[in-house]
Amino acid sequence: MNRWQEADLAWDLIDAVSAGSDSAKRVRIIAKIGAGEPHSAIEDLLYAAVLARVSLRANVALRLQSWVDCYAGSPDEPRLRRLVERATQRAHPTP
């Protein structure tokens, strides 16, 4: 997954996760994406999805699996895999 795809994934997660969140959190996440830190934005959004028990679309869940595969072998991989698993366990089909 390249940087543009990672940023696109972050934008899709913002739409899915931040609908009910406060605008200050949304602005911080948008700033991270704009600053070239989509990885950090995605992590924040995944934590928010887990806490809010958000049901993600299946196509977003699949893209998250591809995203986390990019971290294979890194020290962050186990933590990120657990986070993605928790965030996507309620994924539903894309209409």
Q: Tell me: the pLDDT tens digits for 61-89?
A: 999 999 999 999 999 999 999 999 999 88
Q: Tell me: the pLDDT tens digits for 25-34?
A: 889 999 999 9
Distance separating alpha carbons of residues 88 and 94, to the nearest angstrom? 13
Buried b (16+ CB within 10 A) or exposed e, 17-35: bbeebeeeebeebeebbee
Q: What is the pLDDT of residue 1?
A: 86
Indicate the pLDDT class of residue 6, thresholds 50, 70 and 90: very high
Q: Tell me: the pLDDT tens digits for 7-22?
A: 999 999 998 887 666 7
Q: What is the pLDDT of residue 36?
A: 95
